[in-house]
Structure 1
Amino acid sequence: MMTLFKLVVQQKMPPKLGAFLLKHGFSKQAINNAKHNQGLILVNHKRRYTSYQLHLDDEIIFVPGREKRNVWLHPSNLPLAIVKETTNYLVINKPAGVLSIPSRFEDDSAVVNRVLGYFARKNQPDLKPHVVTRLDKDTSGLVLVGKNPIAHSRFSKISKTDFVKKYHAIVHGNFASDEAVGLIDAPIGRSSEAIERSVTTSGKKAQTQYQVLEQVDGASLVELRLLTGRTHQIRVHMQFLGHPLFGDQLYGIADGFQRQALNCYYLAFPDPFMQQQKIELKINDPLDMTNLWGKIKNSAS
């Protein structure tokens, strides 16, 4: 099935075709791919160069070119929990223990591999997944995946204010009553280790909102919202507060839980293909986290 985008110029003094496409979420790479790899850019059903001067009511048809196939990327038939699907994107409920994007060492079972397998089973082998919101391997929850580069480009232009990501985390320790809601505003940078991050004055701006939902002796259930997107941000910020996540082997303490107790349970964003229609998606926390919290509460009672 061929992906096709249709736009109508509504400006009285519009820019040239290339500038118009860039403004409407088509990246330079996508435009070049359409021009050179079996795509189409038509204005009023005629091929036009990107230097073409547009006019009011011009109709633009954009057909993305074929994307270069990554020969090292293999489709997988492992399970894929689809929460929402449209013509241009998927939202996946990723389990803990699964990479969002394959690495050099693990390239057969990531979300990207599973989406490729899903496309193949639907007889859509020309589609290529573009991960918009990735999660750490041992973080569970909602992952947004574009079906084409246009989706990735348009989603990347949505502001952090309008694109809401919320998480549930189970952390060590309790919060004082005047600290039950707060904003962690602490820059994060790379530490001496290749993977590990830390709060440092030389780091990049990082902000996380949090709210304590429930707490028992020695543990708290917290809701968090990312206002920036730094690597390991929630894990580093909670350690910085003195409340490391249960199961976090890099930033936490040994507690017997097998992965960081962190789940992206909520996504909300304006759909860039549906006249900015607001999309809200919410899932339950996975069984391992709900069992952990139940066990903690029972032990404290």
Structure 2
Amino acid sequence: MTSLFKLIVQERDPKKLGPFLLKNGFSHQALNNAKHHHGMILVNHKRRYTSFNLRAGDEVIFISGEEKKNDFFKPSNNPVSIVLENKNYLVVNKPAGVLSIPSRYEDDDAVVNRLLGYFAQKGQKNLKPHVITRLDRDTSGLVLVGKNAISHARFSKIGKEKFVKKYHAIVHGNFAPNELTGLIDQPIGKKGSGVKRAVVADGKDAQTAYRVLDQVTGASLVELRLLTGRTHQIRVHMAYLGHPLYGDPLYGIQDGFSRQALNCFYLNFPDPFSQQKCKTIELNDPKDMQELWQKLINKEF
């Protein structure tokens, strides 16, 4: 399925069509697909080459070519919770226990697989999901997914710092009155040869902002915002503070909760298809985390 994108040339934009499209998030591969795989590029409704000289006010219409089918991605008929959908992208509420993208060993029921099944049910088998903001398997919450390679490329042109992701976590222990808000600025790197990470002197820069929302005896409900995107960042930083997440024995203890108590409840991002207007989406935490917190309040867990 091809997609149509319309842009207006501004005075400050590049003078030639090719650089203009690259600046606006269209990759070299997308330009090649438009040229050779049933797409086209129009300027003021006339077909043009990428060497064409533009003027301010010109209308550029980009009609994408068809993406190659990836046989590795298999459709799944398991349900997918769509929070927001338009012709360019979707936001999905991912449940815990589901991968964002298929892995070499589990290739049949990630968010990508479920979206392929969803597209097929709608008769849109040629759409190809591209995950833009992924979550770990056992983290629930909001995931932004492009519907095609061009959507993914245009989002990729936006600086990562402009994507605001906020999480709720339920952690062990209580915070002191002077520690109810803070910024954890500690580098994170690999620990050993496995998947485990740790705060290490030669790790990559990592910053997590947090504020405590509520506390009960032995447990705290915390809101966190990632300022960088390191592997297991929230889990590592909370453990570093002495407050590992419930359900996270890799960085804490076996406590009986079935998965790490972490949910991405808030997502804000610029929309490259609407003059950079921002979208904001916010959801309640899933049932398992709400029930865990209620049990902790009632001292039943």
- TM-score between both structures, scaled by the size of structure 2: 0.95
**Cα separation, 2, equivalents of 1:198 and 1:159:** 26
SS at match of 1:263: strand
Counterpart position of 1:147:
147
Superposition pairs of residues 17-96 of structure 1, within 5 angstroms: 17-96=17-96
Q: Do the aligned residues in 1 keep the contact of 2:13 with 2:20 (CA within 8 Å)?
A: no
SS at match of 2:212: strand
Counterpart position of 1:298:
298
**Cα separation, 1, equivalents of 2:79 and 2:171:** 29
Q: Do the aligned residues in 2 keep the contact of 1:14 with 1:55 (CA within 8 Å)?
A: no
SS at match of 1:223: strand
How far 1:255 sits from its partner (Å)?
0.4
Counterpart position of 1:199:
199
Counterpart position of 1:187:
187
- CA deviations on 1:241-266 (whole Å, 9 max, x unpaired) are 11110001221211011100000001
How far 1:231 sits from its partner (Å)?
0.9
**Cα separation, 2, equivalents of 1:255 and 1:12:** 57
**Cα separation, 2, equivalents of 1:194 and 1:256:** 24
Q: Do the aligned residues in 1 keep the contact of 2:133 with 2:143 (CA within 8 Å)?
A: yes
**Cα separation, 1, equivalents of 2:95 and 2:106:** 16
Counterpart position of 1:219:
219
Counterpart position of 2:254:
254
**Cα separation, 2, equivalents of 1:300 and 1:74:** 42
Q: Do the aligned residues in 1 keep the contact of 2:132 with 2:143 (CA within 8 Å)?
A: yes
**Cα separation, 1, equivalents of 2:30 and 2:13:** 25
Q: Do the aligned residues in 2 keep the contact of 1:181 with 1:210 (CA within 8 Å)?
A: yes
AA matched with 1:280:
T
**Cα separation, 2, equivalents of 1:99 and 1:148:** 19
SS at match of 1:284: coil
How far 1:13 sits from its partner (Å)?
7.2
SS at match of 2:19: helix
**Cα separation, 2, equivalents of 1:130 and 1:277:** 21
**Cα separation, 2, equivalents of 1:79 and 1:237:** 33
150-159 or 214-223, which deviates more = 150-159
The CA RMSD measured in Å over matched residues stands at 1.7
Among all aligned residue pairs of Structure 1 and Structure 2, give the percentage whose two residues are the same amino acid: 68
Q: Do the aligned residues in 1 keep the contact of 2:15 with 2:53 (CA within 8 Å)?
A: yes
147-156 or 286-295, which deviates more = 147-156
Judging changes above 3 Å, is the alpha-carbon distance between structure 1 residues 240 and 158 closer, same or farther for their aligned structure 2 residues? same
**Cα separation, 2, equivalents of 1:159 and 1:177:** 35
Judging changes above 3 Å, is the alpha-carbon distance between structure 1 residues 195 and 225 closer, same or farther for their aligned structure 2 residues? same
How far 1:161 sits from its partner (Å)?
4.1
**Cα separation, 2, equivalents of 1:99 and 1:35:** 35
Counterpart position of 2:230:
230
How far 1:33 sits from its partner (Å)?
2.4
Counterpart position of 1:114:
114
Q: Do the aligned residues in 1 keep the contact of 2:100 with 2:137 (CA within 8 Å)?
A: yes
**Cα separation, 1, equivalents of 2:245 and 2:46:** 57
The number of residues matched between the two structures is: 301
**Cα separation, 2, equivalents of 1:14 and 1:183:** 40
Q: Which runs of 5+ in 1 are unaligned?
A: none
SS at match of 1:269: strand
AA matched with 2:219:
A
Judging changes above 3 Å, is the alpha-carbon distance between structure 1 residues 53 and 240 closer, same or farther for their aligned structure 2 residues? same
- TM-score between both structures, scaled by the size of structure 1: 0.95
- CA deviations on 1:73-110 (whole Å, 9 max, x unpaired) are 11111001010111101000000000000111111111
